A and B are shown apart, each in its own frame.
Chain A
Amino acid sequence: MNSRERILGRVRRALADAPAEETPLSRDYLREHGQRTAAETVDLLAENLADYRALVHRCGDRELADLIMRLLAERGSRTVLVPPGLPPYWLTASDVTQVHDRAASTAHELDRVDSVVTGCAVAIAETGTLVLDGSPDQGRRRITLVPDHHICVVRVPGQVVSSVPQGLERLDPARPLTWISGPSATSDIELDRVEGVHGPRTLEVILVGEN
């Protein structure tokens, strides 16, 4: 008997005298916490992102390229990673060297890049969370991990939901997902929170509205 059969047999014997199912699962918890307008939901996202020490910026679509240029310049970045489907106009104002997200690039090569700019799949206001799903404007998971500076662009209010349940139902589980709530952090030393252990130490979020 192989271990698969052994384990399944043990499970079935263990459950032989278990009572039949009690009442069916009721999902009577809330789909979102509180009533908010779309604008208030975006405000809450901004507030919770900032509370987790992400740097939040807001602008209209026409100012986006200038803002990205300014953020890269303030940081002194000389190279920026670019996912294949990033709208080209986002980086037109900036003369920083663009490094393209290629499957063949090594982790060491990624480690030498200063910044990365991506879009996102959805943002969750109640928890201050950005979710990336590997779409062409977000690229491979590792490009938002190895560089130390991540600029993530969120379209508001279209990409923003209130809650975790609302976020989950927008996502495709077949894609690899990365949920990001603030920069990398640890509380392992006397529970003092320190930003940036292994992931990006600086997370900047741009909330882009229509002009």
Chain B
Amino acid sequence: MSGTYLGMPAFPAAAREAVGNATLRGNLRHATHTIRAKRAKAVSEVSDWAELREAGRRIKDHTLRHLDRYLVQLEESVTAAGGVVHWAADADEANDIVTQLVKMTGESEVVKVKSMATQEIGLNEALEAEGIRAYETDLAELIVQLGKDRPSHILVPAIHRNRGEIRDIFAREMSEWGRPAPEGLTDTPAELAEAARLHLREKFLRAKVGISGANFMVAETGTLVVVESEGNGRMCLTLPETLISVVGIEKIVPAWQDLEVFLQTLPRSSTAERMNPYTSTWTGTTDEDGPRNFHLVLLDNGRTDTLADEVGRQALRCIRCSACLNVCPVYERAGGHAYGSVYPGPIGAILSPQLRGTGSEIDASLPYASSLCGACYEVCPVAIDIPEVLVHLRERVVQGGEVTRAGNKVVLRPAKGHAAERAAMRAARWAFLHPGALRTGQRAASRTRRFHPRSLPGPGRAWSGTRELPPVPAEPFRDWWQRTRGGKDGDR
């Protein structure tokens, strides 16, 4: 993944700061609770939700199991329909391909549909470095771009901003990027949306190049699918002469019919609607309707490394609905920025450390950004067992082991920060293997319980900074058992 978020502090440090921000907490709480309740209602409308979820899981698993075959099939069908397929092993390569494609058109600005893949690779920054200006056209992405901010949610990237903040950003920044905000702009959502409409329309109408991602790609037919609400997607997908779509290789579904599952589960899981206002599908190019040139950039960027992990590969089923964010008690309090990635929340906590590896401090800390309550697994429309992967990744962080990085098997060393934890576990293991020593130690602990500190000194300080130390009982369990039951089994 890109260096957009390099230098982010580990999750606990970033989260501590976020939790102290009352406005942020209020914005997040309002948003996540609203959408959580709406989603439950939308899901309850379909009586076969469990079957749809299971079908979605199986389709995705089957696709991943035969990903090589479906990638080749997709390439053939897109090419046959008039598209051009490019392959990008990492972010740099994808950015180079897109930059070259834009330069070939002779244009110096592009309009963009909201896309996680292009955020992941830092495309806007790469284009900017080559003198090409990329305009985000999704309202929330526009708020983030104008505010020189970072997205904090997969679906509603500006969820951390309230209407007053958005008004100020529009009034201050719009003139820098094009049509200024109207005089006397208030903070009503309708007026803000109208300001965005006017600001962006002039860009849509003159744009010659559009850039998008895709929610699904159908191997059988070569069809790409984008789901959205505002119509900015339709603008970018149909008005320009050239369309470039950057899509992760895991977004394939084998057959046209498979869409019937995801077009039922995705909208209900993400925006809690029966159906999102607009879905666009296109298969290559169509004479005199939409772009004349279509390029598809197939992106790896850590996905094949994730595929190589037999527990972690299930993260590649993700259809980016963001339902897991809205139910997560940790996300609700810490907010999306603390995750140091374009993928925040529970799915980000398992996706980022796999796509990027656990080498950095932030990535090594992400598997711990969870209470393992399991709510994310419950709502996931493709049944990704996020808690299972979190625990698996914690094990990897602490113990190291064999992983795949950029297609090569490497042996990971245990992460530095966990020396005390490993030492404690070794000591525990020794004590449990030596009952005499355990008994002596427990008795000593009980007798000195009044003098125990409330927090740990030295390397344990960070651990006890966020937790209460459990009080030691007045008497070890084994002594209590001896005293009350006389060490005898039976007379229950």
Contacts and interface: CB of A to CB of B under 8 A. Distances in A.
B8 interface: no
A2 interface: yes
Nearest to A109: B205
Interface string B284-318: 00101110000000101000110110100100000
A174 B289 CA distance: 13
Contacts of A191: 30-31, 34-35, 156
Contact of B55 (A12, A27, A190): A27
A168 B263 CA distance: 10
A176 B282 contact: yes
A176 B289 contact: yes
B108 interface: no
A85 interface: no
B260 A168 contact: yes
B99 to A, nearest CB: 16
Interface stretch (A57-65, A67-75, A87-95, A137-145): A137-145
Interface in B191-235: 192-193, 196-197, 200-201, 204-206, 218, 221, 223, 229-232, 234-235
Given A29-B261, A184-B277, A188-B143, A142 B238 contact: yes
Contact of B280 (A10, A33, A178, A188): A178
A173 B281 contact: yes
Name which of A6, A33, A107, A198 has the most chain B CB atoms within 10 A of its CB: A198
Which size bracket describes the interface of B in this complex? 35 or more
A128 interface: yes
B400 to A, nearest CB: 20
Contacts of B204: 107, 198
A103 B143 CA distance: 34
Contacts of A200: 231
Name which of B34, B192, B230 has the most chain A CB atoms within 10 A of its CB: B230
Given A2-B87, A11-B68, A188-B138, A33 B289 contact: no
A158 interface: no
B231 A198 contact: yes
A13 B65 contact: no
B407 interface: yes
Interface string A149-185: 0000000000000001100110001111111111111
B413 interface: no
Interface string B59-91: 101100101100110000000010000011100
Interface string B346-374: 00000000000000000000000000000
Which size bracket describes the interface of A in this complex? 35 or more
A197 B261 contact: no
Given A33-B47, A141-B238, A185 B230 contact: yes
Given A30-B48, A142-B239, A182 B277 contact: yes
Given A11-B304, A14-B304, A176-B286, A33 B46 contact: yes
A196 B193 contact: yes
B259 interface: yes
Interface stretch (B125-133, B267-275, B450-458): B267-275
A174 B279 CA distance: 15
Given A145-B238, A188-B138, A197-B232, A181 B277 contact: yes
Nearest to A145: B234
B124 interface: no
Nearest to B406: A10
A184 B278 CA distance: 8
Name which of B34, B256, B261, B289 has the most chain A CB atoms within 10 A of its CB: B289
Contacts of A182: 277
A180 B289 contact: no
B51 interface: yes
Nearest to B67: A11
A183 B234 contact: no
A209 interface: no
Nearest to A31: B260
A176 B304 contact: no
Name which of A17, A168, A181 has the most chain B CB atoms within 10 A of its CB: A181
12 contacts: A7-B300, A13-B407, A169-B257, A175-B283, A178-B280, A185-B230, A186-B193, A189-B163, A190-B162, A198-B235, A199-B230, A199-B234
Given A189-B158, A190-B189, 6 more contacts: A129-B275, A145-B231, A179-B280, A188-B139, A189-B192, A190-B27
